[in-house]
Amino acid sequence: MTVRQRLKISIKNAEQLGEGIENLPPMYSITKLQTFLKTGKCNHKIGENLLCVDLDGHAVCITPAGQVYMGTRIHSCQTADGRRPYYFRHPLCDVINGVAMSYIPNGQLLISPKKKRAFTCLINGDDGGDFGHESSYYAGPIISPDQPTMSFACLGLFWGVSPDKSADHAQHALCENKVELIDYTADQNVSFTDAEMRKYVKHNPEGHRDKVHTAVQKAGLYKMGFTAVYCYEEKVMARWHSPGYCLVRIPGKKYVLLGVDDDQYFGVTLPAPATTVKEALKLLVPEEIRGKKHWRQGEWFLTRVNERDLPSVAECLVTDDGDDFGRHMSFILPRLTADDNPHKVHCFGGWRIGTDGSVYMENPEIHHDQHEYLSPPYGWYRAWRNTALESFSVDGVD
């Protein structure tokens, strides 16, 4: 069952899908958002936008195509017939005479995979759909703190479209029910420490929403895997946020896991179907090292190898004994495409490449532009790539 079937909405004009709320009619009733997400019940008429408010009085508009817009204000004025229609104002668009000009949905309404919940609001972590740009306008805590977040720009890349069109393509696919949300995990929200608050307030004393990122940068604040986002619930109107995982199925029965790794959104095509995020994460670990201790950077895993178990010189394509004092060898782990950001290995010891392409290295350090450098304890290691069939990443979180 699709969202529109559940709400008994019929979309006659296909141009309504994915194009923002350009023809916003007046709304005559308001529904509590949390009640609607849980029960699916609302004061709604066919073809109308659904206007909701959360417990703190923030406006949320859900279009007939299931697009979710978070607004700062609701306008109401009495008409000649005595009715009082409500008009919705989005922080990134203006509503004049019921017409809104915006192409920037905060999220998409989907049938919930969770029990005892009718709908899930999939939050768009991108800033206005801009490819890979982090957003202080992140709406998750305002729409509902238990709703999942993903990068629509990253999702769109799985259809083979160009990066500048990926967010729009994903929005169309979501509206047209071409994406099934199978499972998701909760986002993480962390308050600033007292020390972080003192530094932050110096650069944004009034808690302006559009100064969050600038203030964090000037204050020199950083938390791996998290982005500072505006949050009305906090004393300084900001906090750290990190999205959880989303497991989806898209056309072609492709199972895709999306999430955040260090400071970038990522998405991977799984090698087999999965029903939970936990199962999907397990599938990405090579079967040979499941249950074994390992170190990870992005798609690469390292496992410890005893020197006596290394392939012999005769079983290797290339070898280096690493006996020259003070010298180290640098190389790049294999990449799927030339455009992939490299994992640069600095090997302070020997290294070998087996005839099967397996890479062994002694005392390695691995560097990457978007991950913390990896430096396991001294010894020999083998490198293993994850099992993803394809992968994409987008710079910036939220």
Q: What is the pLDDT of residues 135-172, one digit of tens each?
A: 434 444 455 567 788 889 999 999 999 988 998 899 88
Where the chain has pLDDT below 50, the residues are 4, 6-24, 72, 88-103, 128-141, 396-398
- pLDDT tens by residue, 211-253: 888 899 899 998 877 888 877 667 778 888 888 899 999 988 7
* pLDDT reported for residue 80: 58
* pLDDT reported for residue 20: 38
User: Is 159 strand, coil or helix?
Assistant: helix
Kindly report the CA angle at 152 between 150 and 162, in degrees rounded to 5? 140
Q: How many CB atoms lie within 10 A of CB 164?
A: 10
* pLDDT reported for residue 181: 93
Instruction: Retrieve residue 360's tokens.
Output: 């062994």
d(CA 42, CA 44): 6
* pLDDT reported for residue 199: 94
Boundaries of every domain in the chain: 3-187, 188-242, 287-390
* pLDDT reported for residue 269: 95
Q: How many CB atoms lie within 10 A of CB 207?
A: 18
Beta bridge partner(s), residue 255 = 249
d(CA 239, CA 259): 19
* pLDDT reported for residue 71: 61
* pLDDT reported for residue 207: 83
Beta bridge partner(s), residue 120 = 110
Residues 6+ apart with CB under 8 A from 91: 70, 71, 72, 137, 209
Contact 397, 326 (CB under 8 A): no
d(CA 359, CA 338): 19
* pLDDT reported for residue 103: 45
Identify the H or E element spanning 330.
Answer: strand 329-332
